[in-house]
Amino acid sequence: MVVDSDGLVIAKTPPPVEMQSLRASDAWHLDPVMTDQDIRISVPLTTESGRYSVLIAAPISEIVGSAQRTLVTLAWQTLGVLALLIFGLSIYSGRLAERITRLRRELKSYLDTRDRFSSDPVLSDLEASDEVGELSRDVQQVLRDLGRYTTFLERIPRTLRHELSNPMSAVQSSLELLSDEQDPDQQARLRATAQRGIQKLESTLAKVTEAASLEEALRDEDQHGFDVARVTRDAVGSIARTVTNRHWATDIPETSMLVLGNDLRFEQMLDKLLDNARDFTPEGNTITVGLSDQINSVVLWVENEGPSLRVQDGVDAFQMFSGTRNDSTGSHLGLGLYVVRLIAESMGARVAIGNTERGVRVEVTGIRVP
C-alpha cells in the first residue's frame, strides 16, 4: 500500500486471506511492527510530486518458512562440505599411512641378519616434495652417515692392528737388542730404529684422529669466496721448494679464479693430493697440477707419472682405509683421498680418480663459484 502525505491511499494490493487489511495509519510507523499474523514495515519515499510512504506487509508463516528453507539448505551444504573434507582427509591419511608403512618396509628390507644395513638404502619417496619426502631424505642421509661410521668401526681394528704391529715389533726388538748390545754404533742404530717406530705410531694415530673428526668439523665452517688460482700456485711452489727430487709443473691461468669455500680447507685438500702424488711418483718423474674454468664451476686436477691404480671390485678409492695402489713403504692408511673427498663434498664438488697413459689423474670437479 502507498499513502501520500495527506493520508490518502494511492495504491493498494489485496492482502492474502489470512492477513488483516492494511490501514493508512500504519504507514507512519517508522519501526517494523509485528503482529500475530504478519510483519509490517513502512518505507518513506520522497519524489518531485510529493512525499509518500510505502507500507509493506508479509505473513509470518511465509517468512518463517523461507527462513527454515534457507537454514535447511545451509545445513545440507555444510554437511556436504564436511563430508567432502572427511572423505579427502581419509584418503590423505590413508595414503600417508601407506607411504610411511612402505618406508618402514623398505628400511627393514635392507637389514641383514645382524640388524645392520647390508647396502645403501634407496627409498621410493626421495623425490617427493612433502614431509614424507623430506623425512625419507633425512633418513637416508642419517643411514649414509651411520654406514660410513659403521664401516669405520669395522675397518679400524684390522687396519690399526696391521699398521701398528710393524712399528711396535720394531720398537720391541730394538729395545731387546739394545739391552744386550755393547757396541756404541750399534746402540745408536737400534735407538734410531726404535725412534722411527715411535714416530710411525704417532703419525698413524694422528692421521686416524684427523680423519675421524674432519667430517663433523666441516659442517660448522663458514664458506666464502677466495682466489683458488693463487692458493694453488702458492701450494705447488711451497712443495716444489722442499721436494726437489720430483719435477713439478702447473697448468694454471694467470688470471684470478674465485670459488666458494674455505681457503684453508682447500689448501688442506690440495696438500693431501700433492702428498699422494709425491708418494706414488718415482724420483725424477713429473707431477702436474692444473685448474680449468667451466664458467659455472672450476675443476682442479693433479696428474702424476707412476704406477697405475689397482682397484679391486667394489673398492672405493675415496673411502677410509682403502688402498688403491701398491705402497711399498707401508706408510699409507688410505686416509689421504678420504680427506680429499670430505673436503670436496663440503664445497659441493665431486672427486674422481683414474689411470692415464703415464700414471694416475685425480680430478675435483664442480667446485662452486660465487
Instruction: Based on the fold, state whether residues 363 and 235 are members of the same structural domain.
Output: yes
Instruction: Based on the fold, state whether residues 351 and 299 are members of the same structural domain.
Output: yes
H or E segment to which residue 138 belongs: helix 131-180
| pTM check: above 0.85 | no
- What would the grid cell of residue 266 be? 682447500
Instruction: Report CA Rg, the chain.
Output: 44
Q: Identify the domain containing residue 152 by its residue range.
A: 131-219
Instruction: Based on the fold, state whether residues 275 and 353 are members of the same structural domain.
Output: yes
CATH of the domain at 184: 1.10.287
Instruction: Based on the fold, state whether residues 213 and 233 are members of the same structural domain.
Output: no
CA separation for the pair 219, 256 (Å, rounded):
27
More confident residue, 235 or 119: 235
Q: What percent of the chain has pLDDT over 90?
A: 23
CA separation for the pair 156, 294 (Å, rounded):
39
Digit-coded pLDDT (tens) for 89-103: 999 888 888 888 888
Instruction: Based on the fold, state whether residues 213 and 230 are members of the same structural domain.
Output: no
In a domain, 193, yes or no: yes
Instruction: Based on the fold, state whether residues 166 and 237 are members of the same structural domain.
Output: no
β-pairing, 297-305 vs 286-293, is antiparallel
| Number of domains, the chain | 3
Digit-coded pLDDT (tens) for 17-74: 555 566 655 555 566 666 666 677 777 767 766 676 777 777 777 677 777 889 999 9
Instruction: Based on the fold, state whether residues 229 and 201 are members of the same structural domain.
Output: no
Instruction: Based on the fold, state whether residues 46 and 147 are members of the same structural domain.
Output: no
Instruction: Based on the fold, state whether residues 97 and 151 are members of the same structural domain.
Output: no
In a domain, 117, yes or no: no
In a domain, 116, yes or no: no
CA separation for the pair 228, 236 (Å, rounded):
12
* CA-wise closest residue to 358 among 322, 304, 318: 304
In a domain, 151, yes or no: yes
Digit-coded pLDDT (tens) for 266-314: 998 999 899 889 988 999 999 999 999 988 999 999 999 988 876 543 3
Contact 301, 361 (CB under 8 A): yes
pLDDT of residue 314: 33
CA separation for the pair 192, 346 (Å, rounded):
41
Instruction: Based on the fold, state whether residues 23 and 46 are members of the same structural domain.
Output: yes
On the CB side of 53, how many CA atoms lie within 13 Å of its CA?
21
